[in-house]
Structure 1
Amino acid sequence: MTICNYKITTHESSTKWVVLIHGLFGSLDNLNLLAKHLAPDVNVLQIDLPDHGASPRSTNISIHFYAAAIRETLQSLNIASAQFIGHSLGGKVAMGLALDTPELVSSLVVADIAPVAYGHRHQKVFAALNHIDLASLENRAQATAVFAEMLDDEGTRQFLLKSLKKDHETETWYWQFNLPTLERDYTHLIDWPYSGTSSTVPTLFIKGADSDYILAEHQPAIVAQFPKAKAHIIQGAGHWLHAQKPSVFNSIVSKFILAQSD
């Protein structure tokens, strides 16, 4: 059994639970603004995926395994049903839960990801991460300089640097995520092992207008697997839509979540 690290914000008069799941290389803090926005209305559970943040490290990674870890975490908290919001990889895991354990998922918000297999698109990220020699790293500025040379997108650079931490007892630097295993099993995370299954759970797909993670060609797969799906596009946002347009994103999510709670 794998119990993930989590953070709970409880609401004194609500029995409704909303679960927030971050994306690849992230942690539960990534969706803090959304958690604060939802907290006045529902109980909020923020989760570190396995191999991310303070959650346990895995030996074999897959969407199925991550979905099982989320399910086991909710079972340990006696949460029988919840509304799920997942960004990117977190969206894939949440969709997997809806297909594997439909009774656990009362509604679903999927942020900028589709139920399809993706091609390799993180080669430059892995190269940049591996180019940083943590054993000889003296300060964060050195890592920032490496990223500036190897990664074009400022948002990606800042996102990754959030997971660069220093152990002040040993004076050594480390990544919060399990880089070697994530890189080794990356093909399992970009895969989609649920073809041929479907879920009738109310689902909202939110796409960043400037992102290429959800394309017109993905619509048949979305409709086939989530026939009750609705869609919303956020203009002026890319893949990091929750960080680039937080007010718009939070408003869209809360409107959908509260409508399902009625």
Structure 2
Amino acid sequence: MAVTLHPDLPLHLLSHLIVADIAPSKGPLSSEFQAYVGAMKQMEESKVSTRKDAQDILAAHEPDPMTRAFLLTNLLPPEHNMPLRFRIPLHTIGAAISELGSFPYEPGEREWDGPTLFIKGTKSKYINDRNIPIAKEFFPNATLEPLEAGHWVHAEKYVISKGPQ
């Protein structure tokens, strides 16, 4: 969304925008995200060697098995009895976590009038009644399509135009 709204974006570079279950609003991330990064750091520091050990550490921070499975997709495949590690830079994400809830523009400051599709999980809190009007200020040609899912849905189960398969 921020790239689409950037003033230096060449005209006609983008023809459509699809946004998956997030809104262009500012606000602190919930503490669960810092806990996820902390648990992932703990896994690396503990030099876990199995996904089961990684699951056990993460389970203390996240009760939902689907969310844990999603977070563990960032583990690199094991190599020659080496400890598991993450493909994402945990130190960088940990240091920047407070900024991840920011958005660089204020409503009314920038606008992109191309066709925009916001997909909202019906069981998710990431797009809500309060920030839908804000999204429309940035993206006046936006439509909202609910998807019967939470935020951490496995997208391969769905085809947007046809619903669940």
Bin of the TM-score, shorter chain as denominator length: 0.7 to 0.9
- Which runs of no fewer than 5 residues in structure 1 stay unpaired? 1-94, 253-262
Aligned amino acid, residue 37 of structure 2: F
Q: How many angstroms apart in 2 are the aligned matches of 1:116 and 1:170?
A: 44
Aligned equivalent of 1:165, options 70, 76, 89: 76
User: What's 1:8 paired with?
Assistant: none
CA shift for structure 1 position 218 = 0.4
CA shift for structure 1 position 172 = 3.3
- Which runs of no fewer than 5 residues in structure 2 stay unpaired? none
Aligned equivalent of 1:150, options 61, 67, 74: 61
User: What's 2:4 paired with?
Assistant: 98
Q: How big is each residue's C-alpha offset from its partner over 1:144-172, in whole Å with a ceiling of 9 and x where there is no partner?
A: 11112221121110011111124525723
Moved more, 203-212 or 143-152: 143-152
Aligned equivalent of 2:16, options 107, 111, 129: 107
SS of residue paired to 1:175: coil
Instruction: Determine if the alignment matches structure 1 residue 219 to structure 2 residue 132.
Output: yes
Instruction: Determine if the alignment matches structure 1 residue 203 to structure 2 residue 112.
Output: no
User: What's 1:14 paired with?
Assistant: none
Q: How many angstroms apart in 2 are the aligned matches of 1:247 and 1:194?
A: 32
Matches within 5 A, 1:123-202: 123-134=34-45, 136-166=47-77, 168=79, 171-195=82-106, 196-202=109-115
User: What's 1:238 paired with?
Assistant: 150
Q: How big is each residue's C-alpha offset from its partner over 1:169-218, in whole Å with a ceiling of 9 and x where there is no partner?
A: 57232101011001101222220002211100100111000000001000
Cα distance, 1:232–1:245 mapped onto 2, change above 3 Å: farther
Q: How many angstroms apart in 2 are the aligned matches of 1:149 and 1:188?
A: 25
Tell whether the 8 Å contact from 1:165 to 1:175 is kept in structure 2 after alignment. yes
Matches within 5 A, 1:6-45: none
SS of residue paired to 2:56: helix
Tell whether the 8 Å contact from 1:132 to 1:146 is kept in structure 2 after alignment. yes
- TM superposition outliers: structure 1 runs of 4+ over 4 Å: none
TM-score, normalising length from structure 2? 0.84
Identity %: 30
